[in-house]
Amino acid sequence: MSSISNAIATRDNGPAAQIEVYRDDYTALMPSHINPEQWIRLATGAIRGNKDLLEAAGNDVGEFLRELRTAARLGLEPGTEQFYLTPRRSKKHGGRKIIKGIVGYQGIIELIYRAGAASSVVVEVVRERDNFRYTPGRDERPVHGVDWFAEDRGALIGVYAYAVMKDGATSKVVVLNRRQVMEAKAKSDGRNSEHSPWATNEESMWLKTAARRLAKWVPTSAERVREQLQAQGDAPLPIVTAAPLDQADPEPAVDTDTGEVIDGELEPEGGWDAPAA
């Protein structure tokens, strides 16, 4: 077989090609408002455009496809700040990297909006040169003054989140200082990984920590997703490796990036593997 034929065979059997193979199955899992063509393009583009992700996905294609199944069920865009695809070392795989999906802060916000109860969601970081004021019981919402044209707003010192409901009421306001965010980071299994969002986009993880805690106080569409899947019987995807794609949802667990206790539907199926030491 020529080198070109070998390349085609490898491509056609690789992780990106497997997404295309199960296109119809993923489409069937997606909420009706999702554009399947765009979703598939994002998923395949994320893998084909990153050699580290491609290698990790190839180490366990079934695990990779199950992570995408979670993104499809939640209606989140894979390979974006809605749903990160990250290579993580797995003890179960002898220290080799595999793909893990992480719901990002934009994904959590999307789920809040989709539930239909909130008209707006505000999640912002506070830097040391910003002006910030919020007194619980006196202020309905934080007052945050930012010089958007400043060359340097200073270091991250806090983050806050709240939602304005459609009846005009303000949800619980979540305010976290640096110590509280660092405590969440300390509980992250992947905090020391060079591919972790804590390393590649720290601000987004501050935002996610606040958004995750806000999600405890406002409705999210993940609850509706769970109800719909139970009503429909949740038809499983075909099996492509020895590991089944239709395994039971995990028990409530801890988000390994923020240390927050989360519901199973927001955790990539199969749970999380702590990276090898």
In the chain, the percentage of residues whose pLDDT exceeds 90 is 62
Q: With contact defined as beta carbons under 8 Å apart, do 222 and 107 qualify?
A: no
C-alpha distances (whole Å) from 219 to each of 111, 121, 142, 265 are 8, 12, 21, 14
Query: Taking Cα atoms as reference points, which of 232, 219, 231 lies closest to residue 114?
Result: 219
Phi, psi of 227 (to 5 degrees): -65, -45
Whether 242 shows a pLDDT value over 50: the answer reads: no
- Give the tens place of pLDDT for each residue, 123-178: 999 999 999 999 999 999 999 999 999 999 999 999 999 999 999 999 999 999 99
Query: Taking Cα atoms as reference points, which of 247, 246, 251 lies closest to residue 263?
Result: 251
Q: With contact defined as beta carbons under 8 Å apart, do 268 and 66 qualify?
A: yes
- Give the tens place of pLDDT for each residue, 167-211: 999 999 999 999 999 999 988 776 777 767 788 889 999 999 999
Cβ neighbours for 176, distance < 8 A, ≥ 6 positions apart: 158, 159, 160, 206, 209, 210, 213
Total-model pTM: 0.74
Query: Taking Cα atoms as reference points, which of 105, 5, 18 lies closest to residue 61?
Result: 18
Cβ neighbours for 213, distance < 8 A, ≥ 6 positions apart: 161, 174, 176, 260
DSSP three-state, residue 69 = helix
Can you give the pLDDT at residue 5? 39
Q: Work out the pLDDT band at 241, boundaries 50, 70, 90.
A: very low
Whether 231 shows a pLDDT value over 50: the answer reads: no
In the chain, the percentage of residues whose pLDDT exceeds 70 is 74
Query: Taking Cα atoms as reference points, which of 84, 88, 118, 73 lies closest to residue 226?
Result: 73
Whether 72 shows a pLDDT value over 50: the answer reads: yes
